[in-house]
Structure 1
Amino acid sequence: MKRITHLYASLLMLGVIGMAAAAPAANPASDYVTVKQTQFSRNGHAYYIAGANFWYGGYLGAGIGGDRARLVRELDRMRALGLNNLRVLAVSEKTDMKSAVSPASTAAPGQYDEQLLAGLDFLLAEMAKRDMTAVLYLNNFWQWSGGMTQYLNWFEGSPAIDPNVTKDFDDFMDKNARFYVNGAAQAEYRNVIRKIVERTNTVTGKAYKDDPSIMSWQLANEPRPGNDKATPAQKAAYIKWIDETAAYIHGLAPRQLVSTGSEGLAGSAQDSQLFLDAHATPRIDYLTYHLWPKNWSWFDSHKPDASWNEAIGKSRDYLQRHVALARTLGKPIVLEEFGLDRDGPSFSVKSGTRWRDRFYKEVFDFVADGAARGEPIAGFNFWAWGGAGRAANADFWWKPGNDFMGDPPQEEQGLYSVFDTDASTLKLIKQAAGRLHALERKAPSRPSTKPAAAVKP
C-alpha cells in the first residue's frame, strides 16, 4: 500500500474524495506477478502461491444477494492462515440446468448482471487490502456455471447438457469440444473476455487490466479437448484455441499472466505430448494441474485403509510426472486443485478429516520439498474454501438461496469443502503456507526471464 499525505487521507475519511472517482495511481511493474525462469516473482522476490479455490468470492461480494460481511470474515481468516492467492470464477452463464449456480453474471449474450460484477469488484478491492492476488477464470468446461455447454445452447441451439442428469460424461465432454470451433461462440467468448478484462472496478476506480492484484487470467476451469478418445482434429482445435485465446488476452492485459486452467494429463486425454503441445506456446506463462484420487477411482473412501497405499502411490507418480513436464517446458507449475472427502464418507461438517489430512500432508510436503530443491514448483491452491458456509438441506444438495460453499452445485455440499471448524486441516494449511513463504524470504528471485520458447522432449 502506497503512502498518502495526511490531508488526502483525511479527505478520504471524510468522504470528500471517493475512491471510484479518484484517478488511481499507476502501479510499478514490480507490483505485478511475473515469471522468472521456472519461478514467480513479485517486488524483486520469489513469489510462491499458497492459496485456495474460492470460486464464489464474487457472489459473496454482490451488494444484493451476497454477504459482504461474511466475505470480509472469510478473507481475514484465510489471510491469517498465510494464504496469498485465490482462484475465483469471474463469469457464469444463465442456464436451465439444475446443477448450475444461479443467478449468473451473463443472462444472455451481451446481457450482464451488474450486481454480480460489482461483487467481483468488491472482492478484488478487499483482496488488494490484504495483499492477496487472484486467478480469474473466464469460462468453465463443466456445467456448474453454465460454461461451454451453455454457449453451444445459445449459438447452436443444442441442449445444454447436464451430465449430472444424463450420467454420460464421455458424451458431455465429446460434445462440449464443439465450443472450440464454433465461430459465434468464440466471438461472444471474446466479447466477455474484453468486458471483464477492460472493466473498471467500481470500488477502486482501477481497470482490471491495470490491477496487479489480478495475477492471472485463466482461459477456463479444466478445459479439455474432448473425452479420453479425443480425435486428432479435436486435439488440434484445442491447441489452436489455447494459443489464440491466450494471445488475445495478452493483447488486452500485457502486464498480467495467462494460464489455461488445465487439469494436466487427466484433462489432456492422458496424452503427455498433447499437454506439452498445448502449453508450449509462449503466450501461456505457467502450467497448472489438478489431483483428484477419489474422482479418478484411485481412493475408495468406503475402504480407506485398503485403498490408501495405491491411491497415494498413484498420486505421487502423477505429481512427479507433471513436475517433469514443467521442467521440459521450462515453466512454473501450480497444483491449483486437489482434495479428498471427509471420513465416513460423510458430507457433514461434524465428521472427521483424518484421511483428508493425511492426503493434504503428502501434497504439501511434495510441494514444499520440491520448491526448496529448486524444482519448477510454484505453489498450490487446495479445493476448496468452505469457511463459514453450511449445507442447508438434508440431502446436502445446493439450492438457490443456500450458503455458498467450496463445493459447486454439481456436487454435494460438504464433499470437498474445508470449513472454518476443521482445526487439524487448517493447521496443516497454515504450516504449508509458512514453509513456502519462508522460501520467499530466503533468497531473491532469479534474475533472468522465462525462456522465449519451450523445448520438447
Structure 2
Amino acid sequence: MAFLVKSFSTTCGLLFLFLLARTTLASDFVQTRGTQFMLDNSPFLFNGFNAYWMMHVASDPTQRYKVSNVLRESAAAGLSVCRTWAFNDGGSQALQISPGVYDENVFQALDFVVSEARKYKIRLIMSLSNNYQDFGGRAQYVNWARNAGVQLTSAGDDDFYTNQAVKGYYKNHVQKVLTRINTITGVAYKDDPTVMAWELINEPRCQADYSGNTINAWVQEMATHVKSIDKKHLLEVGMEGFYGDSVPDRKQYNPGYQVGTDFISNNLIKEIDFSTIHAYPDAWLSGQNDDAQMGFMRRWMTSHWTDSRTLLKKPMVFTEFGRSSKDPGFSIASRDSFLNAIYSNIYSLARGGGIGGGLVWQIVAQGMESYSDGYEIVLSENLSTSSIISQQSRQMTALEHKMTRP
C-alpha cells in the first residue's frame, strides 16, 4: 500500500509538473488583445530585424556559426524578434525539392535556426512562401504545376492564387512546416512559442487583378487552413501595405501605383491577427530627395497605423525598412539618419498604442558578401548603426515597462 501511495503521489507530482510546464509554455505565446501585442498578459513591444538567409546558410553545418553569431549579437543589441524564411522551393539547397518532397538535411537546418533563436530568446516570424523567384516562390509552384500537365490560365505566376493544384501544393507545405517536430528540441513548430507568428507569403502581388480581390480570396482560404492546423500562433499576410479598391481615398498614400493587394480588406479577414507594412522610399520614389522620401514615409506609417487602430482594430508591425548603399549619395551617416527618423516615428506611434515594433532589413554576419543587397548591416562592424539600433531597443523596452506598470 505504501508503494502504491508513493507511486500515486509521484505520478500526481509528475502530472502536475507536466501540466505546469505546458501552462508555462502556453502562456509564453505572443498574443493580441485589441490593438496591442500581449505576452504573459502584459503589453509586448519590441525592436527586431530581418535575416531571411538563416536556413539557407545553416544548411551547410560549417556555416552555422554565422546564424549563432547574428542571433547572439542581435540579442545583445536588444533585438527580440527576427523574421526569416521557412521555405526554399526547388533550386540550390532546396527545402522542398518538388511538391511534397523535402530535404531532411535542410529541414534540420531550419530546426537549428529555431533552436538557436530559442536559446537567445529571440522570437521568429516565419514566412512560408515568396512573391518573387528568389528561393522558388510562387513562380516555382506554378512551374511545378505546368510541368505536371496542369491546365493554367495564363503564362504568368498569378495562377498561384487561383489554381486548385497549385493551392494544394502550398497547403501541403504549410502542413509540413507547421507540424514539423524539431529534431533538436523535440517540440513541433506549431507548439513552440519561439515562433511569434506565421507569414503567408512575402510581399504578395497580383498583376492580373489590381483590386485586391484575388489575393483577398487566397488569403481567406490559406489563413483558414493555417488556423485549422495551428491556433496558438499569430498569423499575418506579409503585405507591403499598398491600398486597393475597398477604400479608394486611401490610394493617395500609395507611391503612385498598386500591386494587387488591399491593405484594408486583406487584413480585415478575421484569421489575420495583425497588419504589416514595408517601405523602401529610395526604391519606390527613386529620384526624389531625402525630404520628399521622408515625407512619404511619415504619411505611409501614420495612415496605416491609423487604419490598423480604427478600421482593422488590430496591431501593426513595420516588418521591412532600410536604406541601400547602392543609392547615389549614400553614406553611413545618411543611413543612420534615416533609421533614426524611422525609429523615432515607430516609438512615437507605439506611445499611442497599436504598433508592436519594427524590423530593419537586414542583419547579416561577417563574411556574407554573397548576400549583400545594399541594405545589409553587420552589427559588429557598423558600430554607429548598431548603436542606433540598440538605443531603439532600450527605448521600446522602457516604453513596454511603462505601459506594464499600473
TM-score when normalising by structure 1:
0.76
Residue 290 of structure 2: aligned partner: 308
Q: 1:30 aligns with which of 27, 30, 44?
A: 27
CA distance in 2, matches of 1:93, 1:23: 38
| Residue 239, structure 1, aligned to residue 239, structure 2 | no
Contact preservation (8 Å) 1:222, 1:267? no
Q: Secondary structure at the match of 1:386?
A: coil
Query: Per-residue CA shift, 1:426-446, capped at 9, x if unaligned?
Result: 111011111111112113399
Q: 2:64 aligns with which of 57, 68, 78?
A: 68
Residue 170 of structure 1: aligned partner: none
Deviation at 1:272, TM superposition (A): 11
Q: How many residues align?
A: 371
Contact preservation (8 Å) 1:180, 1:238? yes
CA distance in 2, matches of 1:284, 1:214: 16
Deviation at 1:273, TM superposition (A): 9.1
Deviation at 1:292, TM superposition (A): 0.4
CA distance in 1, matches of 2:178, 2:377: 30
* Distance change in 2, residues 1:46/1:231 (3 Å): closer
Q: 1:43 aligns with which of 40, 44, 49?
A: 40
Gaps of 5+ in 1: 1-21, 96-101, 159-172, 301-306, 392-397, 399-404, 406-412, 447-457
Query: Per-residue CA shift, 1:31-84, capped at 9, x if unaligned?
Result: 00000111111122211131100111122333x455122221111100000000
Q: Secondary structure at the match of 2:198?
A: strand
> What aligned pairs does 1:12-411 form with structure 2 within 5 A after superposition?
25-28=21-24, 29-62=26-59, 64=60, 67-95=63-91, 102-157=92-147, 175-224=156-205, 226-227=206-207, 230-232=209-211, 235-265=212-242, 270=258, 274-298=262-286, 307-327=289-309, 328-342=311-325, 345=328, 352-374=331-353, 376-391=354-369, 398=370, 405=371
* Distance change in 2, residues 1:231/1:377 (3 Å): closer
What RMSD over aligned residues (CA atoms) do the two structures have, in Å? Answer: 2.7
Letter in 1 for 2:355: I
Letter in 2 for 1:353: I
Deviation at 1:311, TM superposition (A): 1.0
Deviation at 1:117, TM superposition (A): 0.9
Query: Per-residue CA shift, 1:267-320, capped at 9, x if unaligned?
Result: 9964899321111111000000001012213456xxxxxx11111111111111
Deviation at 1:24, TM superposition (A): 12
Deviation at 1:94, TM superposition (A): 1.2
**What percentage of residue pairs aligned between the two structures are identical?**
29
Contact preservation (8 Å) 1:143, 1:149? yes
**Which protein is richer in helix relative to its size?**
2
CA distance in 2, matches of 1:197, 1:146: 19
Q: Secondary structure at the match of 1:122?
A: helix
Gaps of 5+ in 2: 1-17, 149-153, 246-256
CA distance in 2, matches of 1:153, 1:272: 21
Contact preservation (8 Å) 2:51, 2:84? yes
CA distance in 1, matches of 2:19, 2:129: 31
* Distance change in 2, residues 1:197/1:23 (3 Å): farther
* Distance change in 2, residues 1:277/1:46 (3 Å): same
Residue 419 of structure 1: aligned partner: 378
Q: Secondary structure at the match of 2:83?
A: strand
* Distance change in 2, residues 1:325/1:299 (3 Å): farther
Letter in 2 for 1:440: E
